[in-house]
Amino acid sequence: MQNNQQKTYKIVFLFFIVTIGFILFLGADFYWSNTKRKLPNLQHKEINHALRGDIISKDGFRIATSKKLYKVMLDTRNIDPGKKQLFIKLYSLYSGDDPKKVLKIIKSHFGNVVLSYKIDSKRAKYLKNLARKLYLSKVFIAYENPKTKESFSHGMNIVESGEKRIYPAVDTLTPVIGYIRKVEKKSMTKVVGIKGIEKYYEDKLAPIQDSILQGRRDLSNSVILDGNSIYTKRIDGYDIHLNISLKIQKIVEKILDDKKKYLNASEIIACVMDSKNGKILALASSNRYNPDFIRRVDYPSLNVAAAEYLYEPGSVMKPFTFALLLRAKKVNPFDLVRIFGGKYKIGKKTIRDSHEYDWLSAEDVIVHSSNVGIAQLAQNLNSIEFYQGLKDFGFTFRSGIDLPYEARGNIPPLHKFKSQIYKATVGYGYGLRVNFMQLIKAYNIFNNHGREVVPKIAEGFSLKDGKINHFDSSGEKQIISNPIAQRMKKILIKTVLKGTGKAAIFDGLEIGGKTGTAHIAGHGGYTNNYNSSFFGFANDKKSRFTIGVLVRNPKKRYYYYASLTAVPVFRSIVETLVEEGYLSPSF
């Protein structure tokens, strides 16, 4: 009986021991299944970020481009102490960084540190290869955390830190090209357009799709390419191809720079446009800046004055008044107009000319730029003919040029055109405000058989294959009949040959245009400052170009007249077009 009792105790004890062991097993299993273990991640993802598209000139030069920037991250705990100097020498050789600077960074940090933020693509590739070799050469070794007893081997990683926008042509084509702003997106430095072409074509230039490579990793944290890896193609933003020739642009800018200094002007603007299709060959300003390094002093130059600056144009408006008279059949070019010795009174306002003519033919009112003559002729237009006619020529509407923030300009409301004085002043270019591009577009009508075309800086866009998708160039509209346009061309040619534009004459070419010298409005009235301009055309047997020049506030004494400021600039631009083969004089 005693033996049976002892056996029972042994069985119960053994059962208790087995039960305790089973409970411990279940507890351990539950603990480890619900505890995050520090196991190495066997998967790795590499993202190759897409870049912003380039802006390319007509002659193939990159005006704006982007490059990747990389940062080098290092865990100093993984460097073998005996091979630290070897690492510094190799890293400095591959990166171009100063070895003393690298040593200082490593000494001052125990753990993760960034050695550089500005590594380019080429050096990043070399450094990635170096990282693999350093792992294999045991320069990087595992480090065990004395507190957690966890081991890890991070070593050196090279990852993208962002994108840098570069402008190889420096200040050329500014402010038209525009500039960018840096933005942070998921710890990456990206850029977006703020002004100019960079802003207008943001939807085309912006990166389209990043490349992603995902799969199992090797010891150096690189993806192993096998059947299980995932890859998506990188697609950069579209390249924008300009109609503007970099060579012509730079020459025109040099002309403007020299003339601005000579005239002591606030700014000079010039544009060369193909009359047949609106393609802009050059759009230049004397006020430029370096988009890579914009200073506070550059702030006034950031706006594209050609599209954003509104001003009263003065006598360059007279041809439009005359064209509307021809369209309404309210004038014959050979009608005689009494000029009264250059002084004429309408109501309380006295209108004056700079020349004391007694009589002029109607077309010579334009040729000799008579305010008195055009003021009288303008009275023949009724309010609707005048008001709607100016709108037909594009005034109060944006020119449609591919630049953001273009100002519309304004003309007096319809009821004002019932006033004789408003008809007179608008007829010779006061009482309304326009921008430079509106005038270029309107003058082009005279040189394009009466048809309107939209001025275009950019020709089209492409991916990296270079195949250009052309922008839509439709939208031509007949504004005046071809016979009226031809009549106006003859008058503008006569204005150059016998009137205020004589300095623009170029033998062997068809040159026409109109000068304008207008007071600049200030607080409470007009100041003694002027804007001088010349808008016209230069043609040979094959090519036709519309050219405009605006000289803002020339301060050189006695040089505010357009014949002494804008016309010589026009002539220099025509000389450039001849020298570069865009125009061929016939003798």
Q: Which of 204, 247, 240 is nearest to 466 (CA)?
A: 240
241-273, pLDDT tens digit by residue? 999 999 999 999 999 999 999 999 999 999 999
Instruction: Give the end-to-end CA distance of the chain in Å, rounded to a whole number.
Output: 143
Identify the bridge partners of residue 116 per DSSP, sorted by sequence position: 72
> What's residue 23's pLDDT?
78
Contact 58, 243 (CB under 8 A): yes
**Which amino acid, one-letter code, is at 87?**
F
- State the amino acid at position 382 in one-letter form: N
Question: What single letter denotes the amino acid at residue 97?
Answer: D
d(CA 540, CA 579): 14
Q: Write the burial class of residue 488 (CB in 10 Å: 0-12 exposed, 13-18 middle, 19+ buried).
A: buried
| Structural domains for the chain | 43-138+159-216+238-242 (3.90.1310.10), 246-291+306-579 (3.40.710.10)
pLDDT along the chain (587 residues), means of 10: 62 72 70 51 71 96 94 91 92 92 90 88 90 90 82 85 93 97 86 97 94 67 62 89 98 98 97 97 98 94 97 97 98 96 92 92 96 97 97 96 96 96 96 97 98 97 87 86 98 96 96 96 83 97 97 92 96 98 93
Total residue length of the chain:
587
The residue among 531, 283, 343 whose CA lies nearest residue 429 is: 531
| pLDDT of the residue at 4 | 61
Residue with tokens 């001088």: 532
Q: Count CB-CB contacts under 10 A for residue 288.
A: 20
Distance CA 222, CA 216 (A): 8
Instruction: Assess whether the previous peptide bond of 175 is cis (omega < 30° from 0).
Output: yes
Q: With contact defined as beta carbons under 8 Å apart, do 121 and 159 qualify?
A: no
Looking at residue 217, what is its pLDDT? 61
Q: Report cis status (omega within 30 of 0) of the bond before 413.
A: no
Phi, psi of 89 (to 5 degrees): -65, -45
pLDDT at 224: 64
285-250-264-530 Cα dihedral, nearest 10 degrees:
-40
pLDDT of residue 37: 47
Nearest partner of 577 among 287, 288, 285, 282, judged by Cα: 282
User: Cα angle at 138 between 137 and 141, to 5 degrees?
Assistant: 155
Cα–Cα distance, 498 to 512 (Å, whole number): 11
CA separation for the pair 283, 289 (Å, rounded): 15
Q: What is the per-residue pLDDT for 43? A: 64
* pTM of the shown model: 0.85
- The answer to whether 543 and 582 are in contact (CB under 8 A) is yes
Give SS3 for 428: coil
Q: Looking at residue 348, what is its pLDDT?
A: 87
